[in-house]
Amino acid sequence: MKRICLVCMGNICRSPMAEFVLRRTLKEHGLDIEVDSAGTGGWHVGEPMDERALATLADGGYDGSTHRARQFDPAWFAERDLVLVMDAENLRAVRRLAPPEADVRLFRSFDPSSPPEAEVPDPYYGGRSGFVDVLAMVEAASEGLARYLADH
């Protein structure tokens, strides 16, 4: 495993939060794997992370200030070993673009305390507590993924 891409809708909340958490978690486990993120839509391309997501990450000890939103490019499948998606709607969108050999899964499927079909819900239209919940979910999934990768 060399490179992982995390995907949500606009790449300003869930997937960038997961990117910064996963990057640090993999490093803590001694795994040298590149991590990036993107959105299925292009509405926010070039914009920084949502302020609530950024603040929640900062409260958790992560610095997401360098993030700029990008749209997922199907050409990236050739460069990514694993594409992890935040919810079923985006999973369907990414799988429609994917070649048959692409490894595309729900991110929370790596959280051993969650069912395999568990999603990371979009906190965008809610309050700060939704972002706090997302951080807990991506931390659990990141830890589970790091353990999985260390064992495989």
Ranges of each domain in the chain: 3-151
Residues labelled catalytic: 8, 14, 122
pTM of this prediction? 0.96
Fold entry, domain 3-151 = Rossmann fold (3.40.50)
What pLDDT does 1 receive?
Answer: 67
Containing 142, the helix (H) or strand (E) segment is helix 128-151
Q: Measure the CA–CA gap between 118 and 11, rounded to whole angstroms.
A: 19
pLDDT in tens, 41-65: 999 999 999 999 999 999 999 999 9
Tokens of 74: 């199907």
What pLDDT does 88 receive?
Answer: 98
Question: pLDDT tier at 152 (50, 70, 90 boundaries)?
Answer: confident
CA 135 to chain centre: 11
